[in-house]
C-alpha cells in the first residue's frame, strides 16, 4: 500500500511539473476521499504553497470538504489560510457539523473567527452547539445531522421525508422517531421502511427499545457501548431524553485509536501528542519525552542510595553485585506484565475497585508459579556457570540460594505492585496508564534491591 502511495505521489508530481492539471484532476476523480487526503499530505511536503493550493483547488466542490476533513489539522490550517473567503465558505458549509467543530477546537483564534464569520447562521449555530460540551464527552463528538421522523406519520410520508432531507445527513440507515416535544420514542431502519406497508404508521413498526448515551457521557464509555452492541450509529440525548445528535462508528474508531495511542505513550513515559511521528518536530518530541525521563532519572537515585548504604557489606561477598541487574530487570518485567494486564482490564470495564482482592489473590498465585520457575532455572544456570568457571563452592551455593529466594519474593512483590497501583490510581481519578511500566519499574527496582541486600545480609554475613 505504501509503495502504491509513493508511486501515485510521484506520478502526480510529474504531471504537475508538466502542467497537466487535467490529468491530475482525472487521477483524483477515481480515488476515495481518504486516499486523496493521504496523497495531499505527501504533496504538501513536496510542493510550494501556491502549487499545493492549486492542486487542492482541482478537487470537485462536492468532495473537497470530505477530503479536507481527512487531513491533519496543521494542513487544514495551511489550506484555510491560503483559500479565498468563498472557497473557505464552500468547505465549511459542506462539512458535517462534528467535523467542523473539531476543526474549530484545533485552529488558532484568528482562524476560528474568520471561519465563523463566513459560515451561515445555521452552520454557526450547529458548531457553537457542539463546542459547548466538555472535551471528550459524547456531546463533543456527536453530529447534529441525523434523520428524524414523527411517530404519527405513515411509512410513505417517512420515505418522502428521507428523500428530502437525507442528502445532508451523516447516515439514513437508521432514523430516529420523535414525539412532538422531540423526545426520543423509538427508531426505525431504512430497510424496515422500504419493506413495510406504505400506509402503516411509523409508531407501529418502530423499535421502542433504543439504546442511547447522554451528552455528558465520557467518549470511552460511548466506545464501549458501540463495541457491546455492534452499532453503526447511536443516538445522544439530553437529561430530558430529547434527541440532540448521533454518534457514528467512524468517530468511534478515531476515539479508540486516540485513546490507545495516548495509553501507549503514557505507558512508555511520553507525554501524549495528537500529531503523527514525522509531523512532530524535534523540539516537540524532546518536550514530550524529557519530563518523565527527568523524573525517572531522579527517582533512580533511590536505588543508588540503597546500594551505597550496603556498599561495605557488598564488598565482602564476591559475585553478589553481578546479580543485581538481573533481579531488578526481572522485577520490573514482572510488574510491567501485571500492570499492562490490569490496565487493559480496567479500560474494558472487566476490573473495578471492588475486585482488588480477587485480583491480588490471582496475582499471588501467578507470582508463586512464575517465581519458583525462574528460581529453579536460575539455580541450575548459576550452578552450570560455577562448574565451568571457578568451581562449585559453599559460598557460591549460598549466594545462589540467596539470589533464588530473593527472585521469588521480588516477583511476588512486583506482581502485587503492578496489579494494585493501576486499580488504586483509577479509584482516585488518575489515568491508570500512568502507573504502567516506567513508574512501576522504578518502585520495583527499589523494593528488589532492599529485599536482595537484606536477605543477603541475613544469610551470608
CATH number, domain containing residue 210: 3.10.580.10
Q: Indicate if 349 and 445 belong to the same structural domain.
A: yes
Cell readout for 60 is 470537485
- Whether residue 441 lies inside any domain: the answer is yes
Residue 142: closest CA among 132, 151, 150: 132
Given 132, 167, 194, the domain boundary residue is 132
Cell readout for 40 is 495531499
Cell readout for 161 is 421525508
pLDDT at residue 268 in the model: 58
What pTM, to 2 d.p., does this model score? 0.61
- Whether residue 265 lies inside any domain: the answer is no
Residue 67: closest CA among 48, 39, 45: 39
pLDDT at residue 66 in the model: 86
Cα(357)–Cα(354) distance, integer angstroms: 8
- Whether residue 6 lies inside any domain: the answer is yes
Cell readout for 175 is 432514523
pLDDT of 2 over the 60 cut = no
Residues 6+ apart with CB under 8 A from 354: none
Q: 401: domain CATH number?
A: 1.10.357.20
Q: Indicate if 231 and 361 belong to the same structural domain.
A: no
Q: What mean pLDDT value characterizes the chain?
A: 83
**Residues 322-339: pLDDT tens digits?**
788 888 888 888 888 888
Do residues 154 and 202 make contact, with C-beta atoms less than 8 angstroms apart?
Answer: yes
Q: Indicate if 165 and 123 belong to the same structural domain.
A: no
- Whether residue 275 lies inside any domain: the answer is no
Q: 84: domain CATH number?
A: 1.25.60.10
Q: Are strands 184-189 and 174-178 parallel, antiparallel or unpaired?
A: antiparallel
- Whether residue 174 lies inside any domain: the answer is yes
* Count of domains for the chain: 3
Q: Indicate if 326 and 455 belong to the same structural domain.
A: yes
Given 100, 132, 164, the domain boundary residue is 132
**Residues 275-319: pLDDT tens digits?**
666 667 787 777 767 776 777 677 667 777 776 766 666 665 556
Q: Indicate if 123 and 163 belong to the same structural domain.
A: no
274: confidence class by pLDDT, cuts 50, 70, 90:
low
- Whether residue 98 lies inside any domain: the answer is yes
Q: Indicate if 112 and 216 belong to the same structural domain.
A: no
pLDDT of 271 over the 60 cut = no
Q: Indicate if 307 and 384 belong to the same structural domain.
A: yes
pLDDT at residue 109 in the model: 78
Say which residue, 437 or 76, is predicted with more confidence: 76
- Whether residue 288 lies inside any domain: the answer is no
pLDDT at residue 173 in the model: 92
Q: Indicate if 25 and 67 belong to the same structural domain.
A: yes
- Whether residue 225 lies inside any domain: the answer is yes
Q: 346: domain range?
A: 300-460
pLDDT of 457 over the 80 cut = no
SS3 231: coil
Residue 441: closest CA among 417, 423, 424: 417
Q: Indicate if 210 and 98 belong to the same structural domain.
A: no
Q: Indicate if 166 and 105 belong to the same structural domain.
A: no
Q: Indicate if 441 and 304 belong to the same structural domain.
A: yes
Say which residue, 116 or 1, is predicted with more confidence: 116
**Residues 28-82: pLDDT tens digits?**
887 888 888 888 888 888 888 888 888 888 888 778 888 888 888 888 888 888 8
Given 254, 286, 314, the domain boundary residue is 254
Q: Indicate if 69 and 175 belong to the same structural domain.
A: no
Amino acid at each position: 500500500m505504501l509503495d502504491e502511495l509513493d508511486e501515485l505521489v510521484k506520478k502526480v508530481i510529474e504531471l504537475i511539473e508538466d502542467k497537466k492539471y487535467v490529468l491530475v484532476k482525472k487521477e483524483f476523480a477515481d480515488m476515495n476521499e481518504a486516499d486523496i487526503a493521504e496523497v495531499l499530505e505527501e504533496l504538501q511536503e513536496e510542493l510550494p504553497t501556491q502549487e499545493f493550493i492549486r492542486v487542492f483547488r482541482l478537487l470537485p466542490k462536492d468532495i473537497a470538504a470530505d477530503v479536507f476533513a481527512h487531513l491533519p489539522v496543521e494542513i487544514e490550517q495551511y489550506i484555510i489560510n491560503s483559500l479565498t473567503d468563498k472557497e473557505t465558505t464552500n468547505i465549511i458549509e459542506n462539512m458535517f457539523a462534528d467535523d467542523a467543530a473539531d476543526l474549530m477546537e484545533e485552529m488558532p483564534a484568528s482562524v476560528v473567527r474568520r471561519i465563523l464569520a463566513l459560515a451561515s447562521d445555521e452552520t454557526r449555530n450547529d458548531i457553537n452547539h457542539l463546542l459547548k460540551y466538555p472535551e471528550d464527552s459524547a456531546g463533543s463528538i456527536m453530529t447534529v445531522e441525523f434523520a428524524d421522523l414523527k411517530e404519527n406519520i405513515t411509512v410513505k410520508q417517512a420515505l418522502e421525508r428521507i428523500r428530502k432531507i437525507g442528502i445532508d445527513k451523516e447516515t439514513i440507515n437508521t432514523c430516529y422517531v420523535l414525539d412532538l416535544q422531540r423526545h426520543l420514542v423509538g427508531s426505525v431502519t431504512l430497510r424496515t421502511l422500504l419493506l413495510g406497508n406504505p400506509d402503516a404508521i411509523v409508531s407501529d413498526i418502530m423499535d421502542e427499545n433504543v439504546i442511547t448515551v447522554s451528552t455528558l457521557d465520557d467518549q470511552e464509555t460511548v466506545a464501549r457501548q458501540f463495541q457491546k452492541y455492534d452499532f453503526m450509529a447511536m443516538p445522544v440525548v439530553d437529561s430530558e431524553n430529547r434527541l440532540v445528535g448521533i454518534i457514528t462508528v467512524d468517530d468511534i474508531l478515531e476515539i479508540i485509536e486516540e485513546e490507545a495511542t495516548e495509553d501507549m505513550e503514557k505507558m512508555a513515559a511520553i507525554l501524549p501528542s495528537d500529531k503523527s511521528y514525522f509531523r512532530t518536530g524535534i523540539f516537540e518530541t524532546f518536550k514530550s519525552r524529557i519530563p518523565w525521563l527527568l523524573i525517572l532519572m531522579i527517582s533512580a537515585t533511590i536505588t543508588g542510595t540503597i546500594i551505597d548504604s550496603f556498599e561495605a557489606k557488598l564488598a565482602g561477598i564476591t559475585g553478589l553485585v553481578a546479580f543485581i541487574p538481573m533481579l531488578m530487570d526481572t522485577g520490573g518485567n514482572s510488574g510491567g506484565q501485571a500492570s499492562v494486564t490490569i490496565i487493559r482490564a480496567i479500560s474494558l470495564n472487566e476490573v473495578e475497585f471492588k475486585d482488588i482482592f480477587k485480583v491480588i489473590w490471582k496475582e499471588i498465585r501467578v507470582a508463586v508459579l512464575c517465581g519458583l520457575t525462574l528460581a529453579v532455572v536460575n539455580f541450575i544456570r548459576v550452578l552450570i556457570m560455577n562448574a565451568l568457571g571457578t568451581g562449585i563452592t559453599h559460598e557460591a551455593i549460598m549466594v545462589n540460594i540467596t539470589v533464588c529466594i530473593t527472585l521469588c519474593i521480588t516477583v511476588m512483590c512486583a506482581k502485587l505492585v503492578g496489579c494494585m497501583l493501576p486499580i488504586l490510581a483509577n479509584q482516585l481519578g488518575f489515568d491508570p496508564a500512568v502507573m504502567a511500566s516506567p513508574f512501576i519499574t522504578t518502585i520495583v527496582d527499589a523494593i528488589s534491591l532492599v529485599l536482595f541486600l537484606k536477605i543477603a545480609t541475613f544469610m551470608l554475613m
